[in-house]
Amino acid sequence: MKNGNSNTKLILLHPYIQKQGSSNKLWLLAFISFFTIAFLLTLIYTRESITGKITAATTTVTGPSSSSVSAAFGGAPLPTTVVNTLLHYASKSNDSYRMTHTELKQISDVLRKCSSPCNFLVFGLTPETLLWKSLNHNGRTVFIEENRYYAAYYEELHPEIDAFDVQYTTKISETKELIASAKEQIRNECRPVQNLLFSECKLGLNDLPNHVYDVDWDVILIDGPRGDGPEGPGRMQPIFTSGVLARSKKGGNPKTHIFVHDYYRDVEQISGDEFLCRENLVERNNWLAHFVVERMEENSFEYCRNKSNNNNDTSTKASFS
């Protein structure tokens, strides 16, 4: 009789078989992970390379910005050929309100003679804004604009521009009354020498950024705000304010060059005669008047030193000295 256990078979599973299967899975996972990471790195590098090429191509097509031009020349004055080219293209602009080449050159000549760094204050954002910034690339250029939305929009387009908005409180129809009030207050709120930040003079701008009152401005251009129509603010306030800033300088060059654009209009001429003075009018070309106003002593209470000469024209050209 056969033993009932003789046909029984014992099957043993060696643990090595299970280890081998797990090891293969780990190697496969590592292999897939490696190629996934390599693919992602390649994709990122390729996209950055393409973006860099597009940016370089855009820069080449559109040309350098004003800041890159400034960086290229460093602290040196702009070469004459560059200045002349800028003036040429600015005067050929299609904008109806642009300045003529003669007017642009008159201001440019003064900026080029200004000791570096030159402090340049401009009332109004105009078609020439970027030109003024470029011509004074070694100095400080600040723009004052009546439209707060346009000032913010312009700064967003050109971050290198320093533009500040201001609220004008005057009307062209009130010109004579405002000038009469200022003359009555010449020993008080409308003194020729003072810090307008603390002034209540109706023709003084007292809400500009604080640092504007602390800077010794070398050149001031008045090409804003709007000067047409009886309800427009006119330029009485910028003209009066510029005269006070020039006479109240603490240091730097004792002379300030003040340009008034659209000087053919009554408001500009009347305000200029009263607060910038005919004795300081050194040149008038087309629609642009050029005054040179000197620093005064703090106890001075007259806008014009020689009132008898206010009606005399002069064509003498100014220079920094």
pLDDT-above-70 percentage for the chain: 68
**Taking the CB of residue 170, how many other CB atoms lie within 10 A of it?**
21
Q: How confident is the model at residue 207 (pLDDT cuts 50, 70, 90)?
A: very high
- For 248-288, write each residue's pLDDT tens digit: 999 999 999 999 999 999 999 999 999 999 999 999 987 99
Rounded to an integer, the average pLDDT of 125-139 is 93
**Which residue has 């020439």 as its token pair?**
128
For the ranges 2-6, 84-88, 291-295, the maximum mean pLDDT occurs at 291-295
CA 191 to chain centre: 29
Residue 300 has pLDDT above 60, yes or no: yes
Which amino acid belongs to residue 118?
C
**Taking the CB of residue 240, how many other CB atoms lie within 10 A of it?**
27
Rounded to an integer, the average pLDDT of 175-197 is 96
Residue 90 has pLDDT above 90, yes or no: no
- For 17-41, write each residue's pLDDT tens digit: 444 455 566 656 666 666 666 665 5
Residue 126 has pLDDT above 70, yes or no: yes
Q: Does the CA dihedral 69-75-77-79 come out positive or negative?
A: negative
Confidence at residue 51, expressed as pLDDT on a 0 to 100 scale: 43
Task: Characterize the bridge pairing of strands 140-145 and 119-123.
Answer: parallel
CA-based Rg of the chain, rounded to a whole angstrom?
35
Nearest 10 degrees: CA dihedral of 29, 33, 35, 41? 180
Residue 224 has pLDDT above 60, yes or no: yes
Which residues are registered as beta bridge partners of 290?
Answer: 259, 283
In a 13 Å sphere around the CA of 118, the CA atoms on its Cβ side amount to 28
Confidence at residue 77, expressed as pLDDT on a 0 to 100 scale: 72
Distance CA 310, CA 273 (A): 7
Q: How confident is the model at residue 67 (pLDDT cuts 50, 70, 90)?
A: very low
